[in-house]
Structure 1
Amino acid sequence: MEELYTLDREVGRGSYGVVFEGHMAKTGHRVAIKRLPCSNPECIELYLQELWAMRATAKNHVNVIALHSCLLQTGSRSLKPLKPGKLPLRLVESVLKGSVVNPQKGRRSKTLSNTPRRTNSASRLQDKTNTVLGRKKSEEGRKSTGSDSLTPQRPPSRAMKRSAQRELEEEDEEEVEQAGSLRCLALWLVMEYCDGGDLNQYLLSRPPDADRNHSVVLQLCSAVAFLHALGITHRDLKPDNVLVCVTPKGPVIKVADFGLSKMSGAVANGEQCRQHFSSTCGSDFYMAPEVWGGLSYTAQADIFSLGVMFWAVLERITFVEEGTTQEQLGTYVCKGRWLMPLGEDLWENADLQLCIPMKFKRAPPLPPPPGPSVCALLLDMLALNPDARPSADQLEARVRSALRDDSH
């Protein structure tokens, strides 16, 4: 596989990595390229979870972000594609040992030191901004050493048949992996590009539109039902992690960012097993009460997060989180001048009565409030008892039914 990607500009930066807009040099097709530096075992574990979940979803659902390829950065300017179904053994070992495993000193692979075939056959990234792959450092290194064995070079001979060359490369990759001499500096995820930004940016930059809001809600239902059917619990559903592709027929919603997701392949009696999780994770304003309380929880925690999002989208309810200036879609409980996440307040007060529609603290211009059928459904999705919430495979039908009833 030989693909050449070019980084055009940075479009997002978080605590775990950086996302760039780029394109394929051969086709000009736009892509999003996410760089995840492998600096500590905790981050590496999240990256591998995200990669595994995205490989499981593949390109099988229009409302889940598609992964085109994954590259492993092994040097300042060298990357190699990961084969489908394979994980970098060095990164897996780092997670299991709880510390980043470095290559053994003094051991070098013949493919890295003597043969340029590896780096030439692997995918490479050209960075116009010179911010990611350290072009300047690479040039300084060449001045001092006279050469850079990790820099991609043209093969000395192009006479070798491509099939034979590919066979040798695969053998070399296996030898390097077995020898454990490959450095794992970062993972690069090449994904489909979404030109509408995240759900906050897309909806809050436009006047409210009931049909658009209904479309967003239904697409999210479909995406989460697909994920849960595969045994994937997202665990961090929020508007920031929902991307939008703008099309002539309207927005196409894409659930993204699977770093906190968990997978379970267990199936019993034709139904997905209700696997329990214990890690307290997610984003405060969208976390379910059982997560706030430190209890074990299931995929039904995702349904609560969806309920918070649906309520905010349908009523255009926003807040500004402490320490930020970015307006976000989300629902909450007012405690004087403070805002309290719904899940936290429900955990502390089991008798809390949610007021749907909210009728205040909505961002102008205001859309029409949801009807009684939708309000009843939202209360079910936000129930304190996870078993009282609808399951993901029931949700889309219930949303359609509620919207239809309220339209009459």
Structure 2
Amino acid sequence: MDICHGKKRRRKVGGGSRTVTARMKREAARVLRSLAAKNNGRMEDEDDDDGFAIGFLRSGASLVGSPRYSLLREVGRGSYGVVYEAVARKTGARVAVKRLQCDAPENVELALAEFWALTSLENRHQNVVQLEECVLQRNGLAQKMSHGNKRSRQYLRLVEMSLKGERVLGYPEEPCYLWFVMEFCEAGDLNQYILSRRPDPQTNKSFMRQLTSAIAFLHKNNIVHRDLKPDNILISQKSGTPVLKVADFGLSKVCAGLNTKSNEEHPVVVSGSKGSNQNNTVNINKFWLSSACIIIWAMIERITFIDAESKRELLGTYIRQGSEIVPVGEALLENPKMVLHIPQRARSSMSEGVRNLLQDMLAVNPQDRPDAFQLEMRMDQVTCAA
């Protein structure tokens, strides 16, 4: 198959940098006024004690109450959410605040998938974006979300909405939002970072090790991301050196409880989570490791395309199917037995060891591919030897 540049056939809407809108300011003001007027900012019909006694956020200059975060600007927009840069007023720390509107079951499903994945992690990992808190906003009131809170009627209604596939949270004129407060990555996504700088083999090697370390950590915790791509990999430079962060867990799956009898189409057996018996194994779909391969491939060779909607140059590997340009991951999903070759530029920095590893990650038979832990170990070996 020919790998080529071109326009992607289907793509989520990209983001840009915008100031907070007047509509957003009015909405924030309304929420905060309601929070200040209500008793302790509690949700209606709630029996738990998670309610916020103070305002959650602000985006205007003269809002009542004592908001915890101030929104600064919009930094990204997707098909079901908006991301803002914000500041925690108590500490002055920069954070990212993602607002997801829970107006349809499919949006709720995506929001809960991200919430469950990030809250299921007992430990932090420097290469996985950190969730600070999640807040449910409805009817002008805010409530802190906690995983599996059976005392929260609103949380249970969200779960019911996702499972039933029908709206159970009032009417469209009463919007419900989930707000995710996460660490802010000031250097943008992997596309922005790589393509705005000259090729740097050392940075590439570091990012390859960091990415495979993050994947191994997630798989150890029984989480499959399922949507790995440069857009969903953020870069932080707070420490002075670039640190990669895997983000956007809306399509992820928490796979705890799977066993060898519940194989998916492309299974892999990996070690269970912390504290589990080493003889107990969890099947995690290693078909998705091909996404990591494609990211590494595009990053080293700087293979790009122009997005048809945003007109941005993005990292990505594509093949030609007739007159169409199709992402390699999508083509592999449709035809897992498709054989791909790793092209290299005349002055490529890809070593023979890395090239062989990428080829193994794209093996036709999923059982011949390295699992996440083998991948992490081999990546350390080939990048140190290069």
TM-score (norm 1): 0.67
* Paired AA for residue 241 in structure 1: N
2-structure distance, mates of 1:93, 1:84: 14
CA displacement 1:356-386 (0-9 Å, x = unmatched): 23328xxxxxx73311111110101112221
Task: Give the alignment partner of residue 187 of structure 1, picking from 154, 178, 192.
Answer: 178
1-structure distance, mates of 2:169, 2:298: 46
1:12 Cα deviation (Å)? 0.7
2-structure distance, mates of 1:254, 1:396: 16
Two-structure CA RMSD over aligned residues (Å): 2.7
1:10 Cα deviation (Å)? 0.8
Tell me if the contact between 1:233 and 1:299 (Cα under 8 Å) persists in the aligned partners.
yes
CA displacement 1:53-82 (0-9 Å, x = unmatched): 010125511110101011110223x21112
Please state whether the residue corresponding to 2:242 is helix, strand or coil: strand
Q: 5 Å matches for 1:104-253?
A: 185-253=176-244
Tell me if the contact between 1:277 and 1:298 (Cα under 8 Å) persists in the aligned partners.
no
Tell me if the contact between 1:266 and 1:273 (Cα under 8 Å) persists in the aligned partners.
no
1-structure distance, mates of 2:221, 2:261: 11
The corresponding residue for 2:339 is 352
TM-score (norm 2): 0.71
1:399 Cα deviation (Å)? 1.1
The corresponding residue for 1:403 is 383
The corresponding residue for 2:3 is none
Q: 5 Å matches for 1:308-387?
A: 308-334=294-320, 338-345=324-331, 348=335, 350=337, 352-354=339-341, 356-359=342-345, 368-387=348-367
2-structure distance, mates of 1:273, 1:398: 29
1-structure distance, mates of 2:165, 2:322: 44
* Paired AA for residue 375 in structure 2: L
The corresponding residue for 2:111 is 47
2-structure distance, mates of 1:100, 1:55: 24
1:85 Cα deviation (Å)? 4.0
Task: Give the alignment partner of residue 292 of structure 2, picking from 297, 301, 306.
Answer: 306
1-structure distance, mates of 2:123, 2:86: 19
Tell me if the contact between 1:72 and 1:184 (Cα under 8 Å) persists in the aligned partners.
no
1:84 Cα deviation (Å)? 4.8
Residues 244, 353 of structure 1: alpha-carbon distance in 2 compared, 3 angstrom cutoff: closer
Identity of aligned residues (%): 44
1-structure distance, mates of 2:214, 2:207: 11
Residues 62, 248 of structure 1: alpha-carbon distance in 2 compared, 3 angstrom cutoff: closer
1:61 aligned to 2:125? yes
1-structure distance, mates of 2:97, 2:89: 14
1-structure distance, mates of 2:340, 2:160: 48
Tell me if the contact between 1:225 and 1:393 (Cα under 8 Å) persists in the aligned partners.
yes
1-structure distance, mates of 2:325, 2:227: 20
CA displacement 1:167-211 (0-9 Å, x = unmatched): xxxxxxxxxxxxxxxx77111111111101011011111111001
Task: Give the alignment partner of residue 96 of structure 2, picking from 32, 47, 66.
Answer: 32
1:331 Cα deviation (Å)? 1.5
Larger radius of gyration: 1
1:11 aligned to 2:2? no
Residues 37, 59 of structure 1: alpha-carbon distance in 2 compared, 3 angstrom cutoff: farther
Q: What is the aligned length? A: 300
1:101 aligned to 2:168? yes
Please state whether the residue corresponding to 1:57 is helix, strand or coil: coil
Tell me if the contact between 1:198 and 1:241 (Cα under 8 Å) persists in the aligned partners.
yes
2-structure distance, mates of 1:327, 1:204: 8
2-structure distance, mates of 1:70, 1:377: 38
1:394 aligned to 2:374? yes
When structure 1 is superposed on structure 2, of 23-32 and 319-328 the one drifting more is 319-328
Give 5+ residue unaligned stretches, structure 2: 1-51, 57-67, 267-282
1:80 aligned to 2:71? no
* Paired AA for residue 376 in structure 2: E
